Copies of this chain bind each other. A is one copy, B any other.
Amino acid sequence: MNRQILTDLLKKKEFKAVRSILEVMNTVDIAALLAELEDKEMILAFRLIEKAKAAEVFAEMSSSMQTYLVEMFTEKELKDLIDELYMDDTVDLLEELPANLVTRILEQVDKERRAQINTILNYPEDSAGSIMTTEYVDLRRTTTVKEAMDHIKKTGIHKETIYTCYVLENRRLVGIVSAKDLMTMDDDMTMEELMETEIISVTTHTDQEEAVHLLSKYDLLALPVLDQQGYMVGIVTVDDAMDVLVDETTEDMEIMNALSPSEQPYFETGVIKHARNRIGWLLVLMLSATLTQTIIAHYQEAFTAVPLLVSFIPMLTDTGGNCGSQSSTLIIRGIALDEIHFKDIFKVIFKEFRVAILVGAALAVVNGIYMVIRYHDPMLALLVSISLVATILIAKLIGCVLPLVAKKLRLDPAIMAAPLITTIVDVCSIMVYFQVATHLLHLV
């Protein structure tokens, strides 16, 4: 199905045909197809989708398309849509809409649902509460398998996921039963007998990354979310977790490369926004490089005496930068995957120290041989090789310590990545280089 066919059918008012096509298509693909249409055609096509499916297609749309649709909808259409939307999709929508449209939507929902929505909207950004859905299957201890299945049959159609059921007692979670248990166990067994009581859960204020980490670690399809008082309030589902995982990774990579993180895809971000996301860190790093300028200026005598010294500066600083970013990448990733913690700092330092010695020795030897062959100057070769080892040692230590310190200070470790470390290592390596040079070549 492509855009042209759809446009033609819409122009010829072949609505029945369009409707049948949309009926067999996947909601994700419909949303992608509608995104290619003109606004007017888009709303026309959207109105031809059957109600429950329309809500799912709506949930897959970009926020600009959603805003346009909400603006154009009649009150009746809006109510139909909101009735069908899952709670977490409704909240996502409200977070993106301008205030006047938010009010219009909140007018369409009943009091109880409005209260729920407002509670979720108030959870901190990036918390488990902010990505959970409040729709799930709750059962009692005494419910039998047969009763549970009937209950799901009656109410389950509107639940986002029914594959994990929660056994509650006074609103507190006491056990978990999987749909697999319900499908494979005898009809008259009770939840009490079936349920898993070792429960893995998070609270509404838990970081969403932590929630995703637990879902992945324990291979769960959904994770229960409790409020501060320990009452069950919702679940985080695996499909949302996958999205969070992708978003958080992108964010980490962007921060690690001196970009302000942005949730919009590349092409949907305007040129000015792109520039703004990049200028901040570049300015900071450019201005901190003035320190390097001062140091180099300080050693003017040395390199006017031996001009060749200058030509090794980029190689030294680049190698330092690369070594530092190797270490910081491993540590940042280890922290993100919960494999490395602040308490391991001395273990990490010792390990990086030994790695740095090995790496430094290897590079120093290769560089030494290369320089002796090219410049026939063993002293110069020795100077650069010593500086290389020192630079690598410093770079590896800074590269492993800074992310751990950032974590301890509750900053994002990803900030302590390549660009910042390069700037710091530059200063150190240039100082070492010229210090060694002045001593070794007797320049002072």
CB distance from A46 to the nearest CB of B (A): 19
| Residue A132 at the chain B interface, CB threshold 8 Å | no
Q: Is the CB of B312 within 8 A of A293?
A: yes
Say whether A183 contacts B26, CB under 8 Å. no
Known: A245-B245, A318-B422, A323-B282. A331 touches B293 (CB 8 A): no
A236 to chain B minimum Cβ distance, whole angstroms, is: 13
Task: Fill in one digit per residue for A148-180: 1 if any B CB lies within 8 Å of its CB, else 0.
Answer: 010011001100001100000000000000011
Interface: A418 (CB within 8 A): yes
A209 to chain B, nearest CB (A): 12
B152 and A418 contact, CB distance less than 8 A: no
Task: Kindly provide the distance from the CB of A31 to the nearest chain B CB, expressed in whole angstroms.
Answer: 11
A312-336 contacts to B (CB < 8 Å): 312-315, 317-319, 321-323, 325-326, 328-331, 333-334
CB A216 to nearest CB in B, in angstroms, measures 4
Shortest CB-to-CB span from A385 to chain B, Å, is: 11
B179 touches A246 (CB 8 A): no
Indicate which residue in B25, B333, B351 contacts A198 across the interface (CB closer than 8 Å). Answer: B25
Q: What is the minimal beta-carbon distance from A378 to any residue of chain B, in angstroms? A: 17
Cα distance, A221 to B310, chains bound together (Å):
58
Complex Cα gap A333–B246 (Å): 10
Q: In the complex, are the beta carbons of B279 and A329 less than 8 A apart?
A: no
- A253 contacts B250, C-beta separation under 8 Å: no
Is A219 interfacial (CB 8 A cutoff)? yes
CB distance from A393 to the nearest CB of B (A): 13
Q: Are B422 and A359 in contact (CB under 8 A)?
A: no
Cβ < 8 Å to B, chain A residues 279-330 = 279, 281-283, 285-287, 289-290, 292-294, 296-297, 300, 303-304, 307-308, 310-315, 317-319, 321-323, 325-326, 328-330
List residues of chain B with CB within 8 A of the CB of A257: 322, 325-326, 328-329, 418
Partner of A283, one of B303, B317, B366: B366
The residue in chain B whose Cβ has the minimal distance to the Cβ of A28 is B218
- On chain B, the residues within 8 Å of A444 by CB distance are none
Residue numbers in B under 8 Å from A152 (CB-CB) = 183-184
For residue A308, which residues in chain B have a CB less than 8 angstroms away from its CB? 297, 300
Query: Could you give, for residues 240-262 of chain A, a 1 whenever the CB lies within 8 Å of some chain B CB and a 0 otherwise?
Result: 01110110011011101111000
Q: Which residues of B contact A374 (CB under 8 A)?
A: 290
A362 within 8 A of B: yes
Which chain A residues in 361-381 approach chain B with CB under 8 Å? Answer: 362-363, 366-367, 370, 374
- Among the listed B258, B265, B326, which residue makes an inter-chain contact with A259, where contact means beta carbons less than 8 Å apart? B326
List the B side residues contacting A418 at CB < 8 Å: 257, 325, 418
Residues of B within 8 A of A290 (CB): 315, 370, 374
* Stretch binding the partner chain, chosen from A63-71, A100-108, A266-274: A266-274
Residue A265 contacts which of B271, B285, B334 (CB distance < 8 angstroms)?
B334
Q: Judging by beta carbons under 8 Å apart, are A307 and B318 in contact?
A: no
Set of chain B residues within 8 Å of A201, measured between Cβ atoms: none
Q: If A271-B354, A322-B285 touch, does A183 touch B156 (CB 8 Å cutoff)?
A: yes
Q: Does A340 contact B (CB under 8 A)?
A: yes
Q: How far is the CB of A136 from chain B (nearest CB, A)?
A: 13
In whole Å, how far is A305's beta carbon from the nearest beta carbon of chain B? 10
A345 interfacial by beta-carbon distance below 8 Å? no
Q: A184 to chain B: which residues have CB within 8 Å?
A: 152-153, 156-157
A260, chain B: closest CB distance, angstroms: 10
Residues on B with beta carbons closer than 8 Å to the beta carbon of A282: 319, 322-323, 326, 359, 363
**Chain A contacts with B in 402-428, Cβ cutoff 8 A:** 418-419, 422-423, 426
18 inter-chain pairs at a CB distance below 8 angstroms, sorted by A residue, are A24-B198, A25-B198, A163-B163, A163-B221, A179-B183, A219-B239, A221-B238, A238-B238, A238-B239, A250-B333, A253-B256, A254-B329, A265-B334, A271-B354, A285-B319, A286-B367, A290-B315, A293-B311
Beyond the given A153-B183, A257-B326, could you list 13 further A-B residue pairs with CB under 8 A, ordered by the A residue number? A26-B218, A163-B179, A216-B242, A242-B242, A259-B330, A265-B339, A266-B339, A275-B359, A278-B355, A283-B366, A289-B319, A293-B315, A303-B307
